Amino acid sequence: MNTRVKVETKDEISRIKELQKEIEQLKKLLLKKDLDALVLGSHLEVAAEDLGYKSVAELKKKVKHKA
């Protein structure tokens, strides 16, 4: 039977809790960023279609040449 004993100070425990909270915040931020990118991509697809382009790439290429 293998037994492990882990000794942590109160400072270590509070630091671990802080890091766990930070990880959760970063996960939420990453999810928001991914969702924002998905929405932007969807808007570009709709705009390209409304403007008569075959694809978002074609729209981007046309806008790049005008700028």
What would the pLDDT profile of 4-60 be if each residue is shown by its tens digit?
Answer: 888 889 999 999 999 999 999 999 999 999 999 999 999 999 999 999 999 999 988
53 with 62: CB under 8 angstroms? yes
pLDDT of residue 6: 86
pLDDT of residue 67: 63
Of 26, 45, 48, whose CA–CA distance to 37 is shortest?
45
Q: Using CA atoms, how far apart are residues 11 and 9, in angstroms rounded to an integer?
A: 5
pLDDT of residue 46: 94
Domain boundaries, the chain: 10-66
59 with 47: CB under 8 angstroms? yes
User: pTM value?
Assistant: 0.66
